[in-house]
Amino acid sequence: MTIHAGVFPRELEDEAIYILREVAAQFEKPVLLFSGGKDSITLVRLAQKAFYPAKIPFPLLHVDTGHNFEETIKFRDELVAELGLELIVRYVQDSIDQQKVVEETGKYASRNVLQTVTLLDAIEEFGFDACIGGARRDEEKARAKERIFSVRNDFGQWDSKKQRPELFDMLNGRINMGENVRVFPISNWTELDVWNYIKEEKLAIPSIYYSHLRETFERDGQLLPFSSFINITEDETISTRMVRFRTVGDMTCTAAVESTAVEIDHIIEEILSATVSERGARIDDKRSEAAMEKRKQTGYF
């Protein structure tokens, strides 16, 4: 497949729609994991196309850390209202209050990893047998190991050595009682594919993806957004910069990049010349070499 800077390869859309229809055919209770980020926004558009003129036949699920960007939550609620979708929200704060997880403390405290327990509880509460996510293989090495249909055991755990072959696009959704499947319809897309798709489909996105003035501070070579959720030390100085975000995540672990991109064309130009990967701005991935893989093994998205 030839990749062009400003053209989205429609074969990827066809593949994703095929996968979403297979989910509807093979599973009894799917759900679409929705963070309000560009990848899950893309999934919503693909699901609309897959089942048009009917509505998307499954709900959206957002695991809210309570430390999200205000702009993202506003966008999430507006999109759901506009499209008439069913949104389920489960809160990490509830897991903390129920003493199922312990809030981290200290300079690098984050609720990002705590989401796993809240997610697994939601899967059990609603009996979801397939969770559709927006992960892509180009993001991070652990995500590159995932199949399109990725089986989790009855504890929600993933074993990279026990994955099923997916030869000739054959997707096997058969699971045992208690198991569930994570489904990744845009696994074969790149960050550039997503932006070209958003451009061609004229999809709305949260404002934090575009360059804007924000109070930030530098930590370990990254620009973090100033917020009351982050523990700032005395030697860290807050200053206002023109920045944007390449990913949408918990504010405590999502770094900004300095940017003047105010249109999608500008963002695409930035990506083409970037020397740091998209996940290079995620502090949670830097906790260890295998941080993402360890989180996925315990049931992370």
- Give 113-134 pLDDT, tens digit per residue: 899 999 999 999 999 999 999 9
Helices of type H across the chain: 10-26, 38-51, 70-83, 92-97, 115-126, 141-144, 191-201, 264-273, 291-297
What are the distances in angstroms from CA 160 to CA 29, 124, 163, 173? 24, 22, 6, 17
Q: Which of 133, 209, 130 is nearest to 175 (CA)?
A: 130
- Half-sphere exposure of residue 229, counting CA atoms within 13 Å on the CB side? 17
pTM listed for this prediction? 0.90
Quick one: average pLDDT of 9-18? 96
Confidence bin at 288 (pLDDT 50/70/90): low
- pLDDT of 2 reads 44
Confidence bin at 162 (pLDDT 50/70/90): confident
Task: Indicate the average pLDDT of the chain.
Answer: 90
- pLDDT of 117 reads 95
Provide φ and ψ at 163, rounded to 5°: -95, 150
Quick one: average pLDDT of 210-219? 96
Say if strands 60-64 and 30-33 run parallel, antiparallel, or are unpaired: parallel
Q: Which residue has the higher pLDDT, 145 or 225?
A: 225
Least-confidence region, from 36-45, 88-97, 166-175, 261-270: 166-175
pLDDT of residue 80 exceeding 50, the answer is: yes
pLDDT of residue 1 exceeding 50, the answer is: no
pLDDT of residue 48 exceeding 90, the answer is: yes
In angstroms, how far is the first alpha carbon of the chain from the final one? Answer: 28
Share of the chain above pLDDT 90, in %: 72
pLDDT of residue 259 exceeding 70, the answer is: yes
Contact 101, 92 (CB under 8 A): yes
Give the separation between CA 245 and CA 236, rounded to whole angstroms. 20
Quick one: average pLDDT of 190-212? 96
Helices 38-51 and 10-26, axial angle in degrees (round to 10):
70
Q: Two tokens at 7?
A: 């053209």
pLDDT of residue 75 exceeding 60, the answer is: yes
